[in-house]
A and B are shown apart, each in its own frame.
Chain A
Amino acid sequence: MAVLSEEQSMLRDMAQDWVNNESPVSAFRKLRDSGSRQGFDPAVYAEMASMGWTGIVIPEAYGGTDFGWFSLGLVLEELGRTLTPSPLASSSAAAAAIVLGGSDEQKDKWLPRIAAGEIVATLATDEGPRHGQGAIETRHFDGKLFGRKQFVDNGDSADLFVVLASDGWYLVDGGSAGLTRSTRSMTDSRSHAEIGFDSVPATKLDCGGEGLTDTILDQARILCAIEMLGMCRQLFDVTLDYLKQRIQFDQVLASFQALQHRMAALFTEIELTRSAVEGALAALDNGGDISVTAAQAKALANDMLNTMSREAIQLHGGIGMTDEFDVGLYIKRARILENAFGNSAFMRDRFAQLLAF
């Protein structure tokens, strides 16, 4: 992993301790088995807020800490490790959209509340099951928004929607008349609602300039990628431990060369992926062009987690297939993140396009 500043090491350690002690996978199971529609526990989110995590990419002037993207990544990676459900990524992506494109008034109105963890914000982007397929049909007309958004992260409870319309991004208060929510029950037991906008009051994010649409999506892609990397790391570590313990044919499985090479190959791939994802987070902090790095990071994280989530089950044998054992749960979150904001084929195509080949 990249060299951390003292501040960042402290944040990482704090996140690690908190996740290990307060939010192991059993916490996710409990929430899942309770049948929560919201997909996260508000008390847990309040705790995250009290640790300052909800304002990491929000400027101090608006109540945030402005620690930066890399720091947010350190936290999200830890949350990914134990499948901790929270709206931290979606709220942060939405907040960052307002930071980039919002007027002073919009910032004043929303950012302090997001930073304080008082409200949950989210991006509402896709109108079908595959990101980037087909034109955006949500329309803005005379201060009102008309359209339908699908698979909106935390859509069941979000207080603020940052909505992609045919001519840019709009802010919509979750309590507006004309806004409807339909729950979708998906494999990861989080909230991915369909949201209808029928003549809903909306204000445009007007200040971001040319590339705003893409930048907001690229930021979201990079946040997905770091959560996925956390999941990979956990699956790898747990699998490695298991192979070192499980005895068959009078020896630990770890002693079979076929399996040693499998793990060595996964290790190599994960390290490569880590460099790409950390590079993308650093690029966000340094204000460089992030479109290419975002495409690279998301594509590699997608493929890595796809492989790792399958290998973890296979290498555990029968026990990896059971609901009782944690390792099989990751694949059910993995494919959702792979689809979010662009699958690998989409990212490869975008990468090539950006580099003009």
Chain B
Amino acid sequence: MSTAARADDSLDPEAFRSGVRAWLDANFPRSLKGRAQLALELDVTGPEAADFNAWKAAMGSKGWGTPTWPAEYGGGGLSKEQAKILSQEMARAGAFNPIGGMGVMMFGPTLLEYGSEEQKQEHIPAICRGEIRWCQGYSEPGAGSDLASLQTFAEDKGDHYIVNGQKTWTSGGQWADKCFALVRTDKSKKHEGITFLLIDMTTPGVTTKPIRLISGASPFCETFFDNVVVPKTNRVGKEGEGWTIGKRLLQHERTNLVGAGAGLNSSKSLPDLAKQYVGTDQNGKLRDADLRARIAMFEMKWRAFLQTARRVADESKSGNGVSVASSILKIAGTKFGQERSELSLEIMGMQGLGWEGEGFSPDELRTTRGWLGGKATTIYGGSTEIQNNVIAKRILGMLDHQ
């Protein structure tokens, strides 16, 4: 498929739409309809594997998993409007994006902005095709909220660095092919001593040790670097620019986290869930008046959150820059997600506290595990406390000494 054909598509939105529709018709396997959760699986196996892989290959070669990324690096090259049409048509067909992960959400956009031409050519196409898994090597045991205190050291050896140190909470690190990491190249300066490096996880000296969560899952690991050789061509930006680049990437992370852990483990709305577990009186009111009032309060606030997200999107489209309200989205979205989970649990009573096995439905067990795992959403991607500090200091101007 040629770049020219894409350019033609962009002339007329309706022509583009019917083109997308025809393409989906020809390429999206009907067996995968509504099976979006497959995209979250590490390796799709079983009966759906062949269809899933075909779908992924089709989307990957079209670049539509990363629709607005430049076509020259394997992206879809679509305008925002076209991307919107694509997602509408996909939703209509019951299709989903099979290409995701940290490469798409965080690293790709950052590399497109800061990477060299060679680096973009090397890394972006593989992300667009969903071939390479990336992980984020930022946090260390001693550097969490205070990320800039990180100690993993990269020693200059001419054409390469020798990296030593430890990262932790590396999501997907045990399955990742590559890691984008913040390392220290200068011990005399805190922020300006940090450099952004790309590290191949198969390099000798890289080891990982999974960490188990209270929810039972092990989505992340400790990552150790022991005399790991990293060519200088894998440095993004200059030495000492890592903090600026790394922070830009965090903005992409936060945008993607908004609404994360929104407790959407159960397919049912809270009122429906409550009707099922608590029951209603002859007037259709929930039998537990106390719970009813709290669900009503939650639903009002949740609507306000969605309204705010929409308002922020509208304001940013109008070209007046980022709305100040955007700073509250991560705090509010994760808070409500956790509240929703707690309410689901209260509604289900003991039935919402099963761990495994007999006596609990899959939905119930998912709700329990999701409730536990969801506690992380207010910790990662900038904790609620750190976001509050940012609001107080940068937006409200409440500084330490005034």
Q: Which A residues are within 8 Å of any B CB, using their own CB?
A: 126, 128-131, 133, 150-151, 182-189, 192, 194, 247-250, 256, 258-259, 306, 310, 313-314, 317-318, 320-324, 328-329, 331-332, 335-336, 339, 343-346, 348-349
Q: Could you tell me the distance between the alpha carbons of A348 and B169 in the complex, rounded to whole angstroms? A: 41
B145 interfacial by beta-carbon distance below 8 Å: yes
Least Cβ–Cβ distance between B204 and chain A, in angstroms: 28
CA distance A324 to B342 in the complex (A): 23
Sample (25) of A-B pairs whose CB atoms are under 8 Å apart:
A130-B349, A185-B355, A185-B357, A187-B354, A189-B355, A194-B359, A248-B145, A248-B146, A249-B145, A250-B149, A258-B385, A310-B375, A317-B144, A317-B379, A317-B383, A318-B144, A320-B379, A322-B212, A323-B214, A328-B375, A332-B372, A335-B352, A335-B353, A336-B350, A349-B289
B-chain residues with CB within 8 Å of residue A185 when the two chains form the complex:
354-358
**Contact yes or no, B290 A248, CB < 8 A:** no
Contact status of A329 and B214, CB under 8 A, knowing A130-B277, A317-B379: yes
User: Which residues of chain B come closer than 8 Å to A128, judged between CB atoms?
Assistant: 349
* Complex interface bits, B382-397 against A, C-beta within 8 A gives 1, otherwise 0: 0111001100000000
- Other A-B contacts than A314-B383, A322-B214, A345-B291, 11 sampled, CB-CB below 8 A, are A129-B348, A133-B287, A184-B360, A185-B355, A186-B353, A249-B149, A314-B378, A318-B379, A331-B214, A339-B353, A348-B290
B359 touching A248 by the CB < 8 A rule? no
**Is B39 part of the contact surface with A, judged by Cβ < 8 Å?**
no
- Asked if A321 and B146 make an inter-chain contact with CB atoms under 8 angstroms apart, the answer reads no
- Find chain B residues with CB under 8 A from A250 CB: 146, 149
- For A183, A186, A259, the residue with the greatest tally of chain B CB atoms inside 10 Å of its CB is A186
B211 at the interface (CB under 8 A from A): yes
Q: Which of A249, A321, A339 contacts B350 (CB 8 A)?
A: A339
The 4 closest A-B pairs by CB, nearest first: A129-B349, A130-B349, A129-B351, A345-B290
List of A residues within 8 angstroms of B257 by Cβ: none
Which A residues lie within 8 Å of B356 (CB)?
185
Whether B146 pairs with A318 at a CB distance below 8 angstroms is no
Which residues does chain B contribute within 8 Å of A249, judged by CB atoms? 145-146, 149
- Whether B136 sits at the interface, judged by CB under 8 Å, is no
Q: How long is the Cα–Cα vector from A83 to B360 in the complex, in angstroms?
A: 24
A332, B139: Cα distance in complex, Å: 27
Q: Is B113 an interface residue (CB 8 A)?
A: no
Within 8 Å CB of B355, what residues of A?
Answer: 185-187, 189
Instruction: Give bound CA distance, A256 to B389, whole Å.
Output: 11
Contacts of A182 in B (CB 8 A): 358-359
Of A256, A318, A322, A349, which contacts B380 at CB under 8 A? A318
Neighbour of B213 across the interface among A188, A192, A323, CB < 8 A: A323
Report B96-117 residues with CB < 8 Å from chain A CB: none
Residue of B nearest to A314 (CB): B378
Given contacts A318-B169, A345-B291, contact A129 B213 (CB under 8 A): no
Residues 111 to 162 of chain B near chain A (Cβ within 8 Å): 139, 142-146, 149
Interface residues of B in 319-357 (CB under 8 A from A): 338, 342, 345-346, 348-357
Chain B residues lying within 8 Å of A317, measured Cβ to Cβ, are 144-145, 379, 383
CB-CB under 8 A for A192 and B350, given A331-B372, A345-B290? yes
A183 close to B358 (CB less than 8 A): yes
Residues in chain A near residue B66, CB distance under 8 A? none
Q: How far is the CB of A333 from chain B (nearest CB, A)?
A: 10
Cβ 8 A contact of B211, one of A192, A314, A324, A349: A324
With both beta carbons as reference points, the residue of chain B lying nearest to A333 in the complex is identified as B353
How far is A317 from B142 in the complex, measured between Cα atoms in Å? 12
In the complex, are the beta carbons of A247 and B290 less than 8 A apart? no
Contact A187 B213 (CB under 8 A): no
A133 surroundings in chain B (CB, below 8 A): 278-279, 287, 349
Distance from B363 Cβ to chain A, minimum over Cβ atoms (Å): 14
Q: Does B368 make an interface contact (CB < 8 A)?
A: yes
Is the CB of B272 closer than 8 A to any CB of chain A?
no
A348 CA to B293 CA in the complex, in Å?
13
The contact string, 1 if C-beta is below 8 Å from chain A, for chain B 275-297, is 00111000000011111000000
Q: Do A130 and B372 contact each other (CB < 8 Å), given the known contacts A321-B379, A345-B290? A: no
B residues in contact with A194, CB < 8 Å: 359
From B211, B278, B379, B383, A130 is in contact (CB under 8 Å) with: B278
Does B223 touch A at the CB level, under 8 Å? no
Do the beta carbons of A332 and B145 come within 8 Å of each other?
A: no
Contact of A321 with B214 at beta-carbon distance under 8 Å, contacts A185-B355, A259-B385, A313-B375 already known: yes
Q: Which residues of B contact A130 (CB under 8 A)?
A: 277-278, 349-350
Q: Is B168 an interface residue (CB 8 A)?
A: yes
CA distance A187 to B355 in the complex (A): 5
Q: Verify if B376 is at the interface (C-beta below 8 Å from A).
A: yes
The docked-state distance in angstroms from the alpha carbon of A306 to that of B371 is 13
Contact, CB under 8 Å: A186 / B354? yes
Considering only CB atoms, which chain B residue lies closest to A329 in the complex? Answer: B214
- A306–B342 CA distance with the chains assembled, in angstroms: 10
